[in-house]
Structure 1
Amino acid sequence: MSACIQIVEGNPHLRALLSWHLQQAGYQVHQAADITWAQETFQRRQPDLVILEPELANESGLELCRWLQHRGSPLVLILSARTAERDVVAGLRAGADDYLKKPFGMQEFLARVEALTRRNRKRIAPASLSSGDLNIDLVQRRVRYKDEFIDLTPQEFSLLYVLTQAEGSPLTRADLLRRAWPDAIDNPRTVDTHILSLRKKIEDDPRQPSIIQTVRNVGYRLNVERIQARPEPVAAVPSSHIA
């Protein structure tokens, strides 16, 4: 099955040209000209590779790049006329897997795409993330704790997923905003509100949380010791004590 590619490029002529060459090479191609369009297309198509122009009209394509990292981490190829080292570093730190400077030759472009899609075929994305009694199904986006499914909102799901990924390490509110939220948000109280909501659904006593712990002057952590704990086996009663 051919790889699915999304092109996010503000220049309609370049977008059409790249699309044509990729289709001729056997790829499935979907186009977008801005971030909103790109996000909607991505949600519907779930492409394997996103080709991104970071200098979109009145928008930063790097924000889309960061947003994509919370959506299954597709491979990202940046195409940019900005050639300074700081621009390349910024693109890679935003989550891009490769950075191709404009102008570029079509053969080099196709070779970069081929290399990335080949890499994508080799990596196997996990279908779920588990820690003790907690299981997070990344395909169905469902959470099961102690063999019971928990009904979470999409944002609560992302927040719990990021906490679980940290494997018990504390994360600051800024870390959680950057990794669990699709859009740039500066208000740390947003994290507190969603943590409270998540605790109401997963904790035995939300007023005394034991699973999602507050780390003073830092943020929050998932208490992996708590969710991995198993009840102590009941000691057998000596036969001489049985009536």
Structure 2
Amino acid sequence: MGSICIQIIEGNPHLRSLLGWHLQQASYWVCQSAGIHHAREIYLTRQPTVVILDSDLPDGDGIEFCRWLQEQGQSLILMLSARNTEADIVNGLKAGADDYLTKPFGMQEFMARVEALVRRVRVTAAPMYLDYGDLKIDLVQRRVRFKEEFIDLTPQEFSLLYVLAQAGGLPLSRSELLRRAWPDAIDNPRTIDTHVLSLRKKIENVPRQPSLIQTVRNVGYRFNPEILNALEPKTNGNTRTRNGNGQRSALTSY
């Protein structure tokens, strides 16, 4: 499922984080937005396969945004709403939602609804992994291989590495990492520092001088795949797939 990108647009930060965590555990790519303005930017950039959309957002009407999404014609939409009358449900479906789930709901039902939408998308079912040369992240088995050896990561360390790698080199704040990689709300952002230190000891060539997971001053941390590309020996003949920008494609069949 590593090729499936799911966008969550939900104003409640705790619910947004919880949904994102469960989807990540199921090996989906996840991007999150709290409001319409940011959601539109993310949507146009990521082109998600499925959009999880709250009908009531802090900066606008989710129903109207659903109509905008439907006009784009590229994503399946699961609408979440506290509005539970028949008229509300019909209104959401007519606005373009492919499914409608009323709040409160159980997580098993939520995941079943998402999986039903995903089954409608024609994609290959082959396991997927992220390939950065010496570092390979298996999104299905949730395993990491570094220099041809499997690295023993805790579930939380794997989630942290996955979220950092998913950001594509963009720096993420400690608060953002907590929201994306932790299943429960945590008040102390410095928790990230402890896990980053542990992760560096396992996957950095020189943990005291980290180059793969870099500290970004006054921001947080970023994943730096370029260092792996630079260290990877050049070969004659067989080269890895590259995208249109000349960069190596990170998503490959495992």
* Alignment TM-score, normalising by the size of structure 1: 0.56
Q: Tell me: CA distance 1:62–1:174, structure 2 relative to 1, closer, same or farther (3 Å).
A: closer
| CA distance, structure 2, for counterparts of residue 196 and residue 147 of structure 1 | 22
Q: Which has the higher contact order (CA 8 A, sep 6+)?
A: 2
**Pairing 1:17-166 to 2, within 5 Å after superposition:** 64-72=18-26, 73=28, 86=58, 89=62, 97-100=78-81, 101-104=83-86, 112-113=98-99, 117-122=116-121, 124=123, 127-166=128-167
**Pairing 1:206-221 to 2, within 5 Å after superposition:** 206-221=207-222
Q: Tell me: CA distance 1:104–1:177, structure 2 relative to 1, closer, same or farther (3 Å).
A: same
| CA distance, structure 1, for counterparts of residue 223 and residue 98 of structure 2 | 39
Q: Deviations over 1:148-182 (max 9, x none)?
A: 11110000000111111112221111111111111
Percent identical residues:
54
| CA distance, structure 2, for counterparts of residue 61 and residue 169 of structure 1 | 24
| Root mean square deviation, CA, Å | 3.8
**Residue type at the aligned position of 2:85:** P
Cα pair 2:163 2:177 within 8 Å, conserved? yes
Quote the residue 2:206 is aligned against: 205
| CA distance, structure 2, for counterparts of residue 138 and residue 67 of structure 1 | 14
TM-superposed CA distance for 1:221, in Å, is: 1.1
Q: Which has the larger radius of gyration?
A: 1
Q: Tell me: CA distance 1:123–1:181, structure 2 relative to 1, closer, same or farther (3 Å).
A: farther
Secondary structure at 1:188 match in 2: coil
**Residue type at the aligned position of 1:184:** A
**Residue type at the aligned position of 2:18:** L
Stretches of structure 1 that go unaligned for 5 or more consecutive residues are 1-53, 234-243
TM-superposed CA distance for 1:195, in Å, is: 0.2
**Residue type at the aligned position of 2:84:** K
| CA distance, structure 2, for counterparts of residue 131 and residue 97 of structure 1 | 33
| CA distance, structure 2, for counterparts of residue 77 and residue 140 of structure 1 | 25
Quote the residue 1:174 is aligned against: 175
**Residue type at the aligned position of 1:166:** A
Secondary structure at 1:122 match in 2: coil
Q: Tell me: CA distance 1:216–1:127, structure 2 relative to 1, closer, same or farther (3 Å).
A: same
**Residue type at the aligned position of 1:157:** F
TM-superposed CA distance for 1:190, in Å, is: 0.4
Quote the residue 2:238 is aligned against: none
* Alignment TM-score, normalising by the size of structure 2: 0.54
| CA distance, structure 1, for counterparts of residue 20 and residue 117 of structure 2 | 23
Q: Deviations over 1:61-115 (max 9, x none)?
A: 555324324323497878x9xx7554965xx9xxx8313531127x959994499
Q: Tell me: CA distance 1:223–1:192, structure 2 relative to 1, closer, same or farther (3 Å).
A: same
| CA distance, structure 2, for counterparts of residue 154 and residue 61 of structure 1 | 21
Matched length:
168
| CA distance, structure 2, for counterparts of residue 204 and residue 63 of structure 1 | 32
TM-superposed CA distance for 1:231, in Å, is: 3.4
Deviates more, 1:189-198 or 1:207-216: 207-216
Cα pair 1:131 1:164 within 8 Å, conserved? no
| CA distance, structure 1, for counterparts of residue 224 and residue 56 of structure 2 | 43
Secondary structure at 1:70 match in 2: helix
